[in-house]
Chain A
Amino acid sequence: MTCKEFLALLDDLIDDSVSDETRAQLRAHLGGCEHCKVTLDTTRKTIEIYRSHEVYDLPDGLRERLHAAIMARCKGGC
């Protein structure tokens, strides 16, 4: 397996949607390719960081203001 072929299957590997046979081929490639191993590890980490950290937090004041506006209009029949 070449690095290009590995890269084409990177998402499927991350999302765990590869067959056992393909996974074995990908693992074999990783065993001898430090570049692809780093790409896999840091791409996984990228997703994990974005998933676990709030990029845009809703401040409490804004939360209440939005809430009041929505509920006021909905109770009035929108």
Chain B
Amino acid sequence: MPMAIIQPVVEKLEQHPDVALVEQVLRQDASAFDTLVRKYEGQVFRIAQHITQNREDAEDATQDAFLKAYQKLDQFQGNSKFSTWLVRIAVNESLMRLRKRRTGKMVSIDEDISTDEGSVPRDLADWAPNPEQNYNQAELADILRKTIQGLSQGFRIVFVLRDVEGLSTEETAETLGLSVPAVKSRLLRARLQLRERLSRYFHQKKGAEK
């Protein structure tokens, strides 16, 4: 019967490659986990570094996140994306590292979000068409790092997950345990604050060339 042949093919096409890798790992194929680690280690490290703001902690959190993912792989539900599931673990491990470093101090993604700085655009001069081209790669990376480090943690994590790592608003909310309106509110303020801070750098450079 043609249908009996077609149906499994359709199901196979719809399956995300990560799900097949997870199934291989669960069948004791460690090399499949190797593939998943290589695919996501850069993303997990970036998130850990953005949250901990400390290289050593970011390395440890990256390692711990993958180890925890491996241990809990049988709990992974195929109805969510593996990458989103892994990001959630990475965020938790990173926050845990932060707590260890700040012994006795509460660490929450809600801290320091009361500021309205930058939420109302003040610097309204336009940028050059491609302002990043006025800087070499290392200079630009330095500017982007300094600028995003200046955001409060609650804004920074939302911006990183939503705009840098490409999670949806709903996935970001679920990952951080926030409501969708809270994510949207923080994202707007994070974007506007970053824009305001970047404007200073790009205007300075533009002015210096005159």
Task: Mark A residues whose CB is within 8 Å of B.
Answer: 7, 10-11, 14-15, 34-35, 38-39, 41-43, 45-47, 49-51, 53-58, 62-63, 66-67, 69-71, 73-75, 78
A50 touches B163 (CB 8 A): yes
Contact B71 A78 (CB under 8 A): yes
Question: Would A49 and B144 count as touching, CB distance under 8 A?
Answer: yes
B21 on the A face (CB < 8 A): no
Q: Which secondary structure dominates chain B's binding surface?
A: helix
Contacts of A58 in B (CB 8 A): 41-42, 45-46
Given contacts A56-B46, A58-B42, contact A41 B132 (CB under 8 A): no
Is there an interface contact between B37 and A53, defined as CB atoms closer than 8 Å? no
Task: Using CB atoms, name the residue of chain B closest to A63.
Answer: B41
B71 and A54 form a contact (CB under 8 A): no
Contact A66 B192 (CB under 8 A): no
Complex partner residue of B144 from A10, A43, A45, A55, CB under 8 angstroms:
A55
Q: Would you give the shortest CB distance from B149 to chain A, in whole angstroms?
A: 9
List 15 A–B pairs whose Cβ atoms lie within 8 Å, in order of A's numbering.
Answer: A11-B184, A15-B169, A35-B121, A42-B126, A42-B127, A47-B191, A49-B132, A53-B141, A55-B145, A56-B58, A58-B45, A62-B59, A73-B67, A78-B67, A78-B70
Binding site for A on B (CB under 8 A): 30, 33-34, 37-38, 41-42, 45-46, 49-50, 58-59, 62-63, 66-67, 70-71, 120-121, 124-127, 131-132, 137, 140-141, 144-145, 148, 159, 163-164, 166, 169, 184, 187-188, 191-192, 194-195, 198-199
Contacts of A45 in B (CB 8 A): 127, 131
Query: Is there an interface contact between A53 and B144, defined as CB atoms closer than 8 Å?
Result: yes
Are A51 and B163 in contact, CB atoms less than 8 angstroms apart? yes
CA distance A70 to B164 in the complex (A): 25
Contact status of A42 and B199, CB under 8 A, knowing A55-B144, A66-B59: yes
In the bound complex, CA of A10 to CA of B5 (Å): 49
Q: Chain A contacts of B198 at CB under 8 A?
A: 42, 46, 49
- By beta carbon, the residue of chain B nearest A4 is B120
Which residue in chain B gives the minimum CB-CB distance to A43? B195
Give Cα A78 to B59, complex, Å. 17
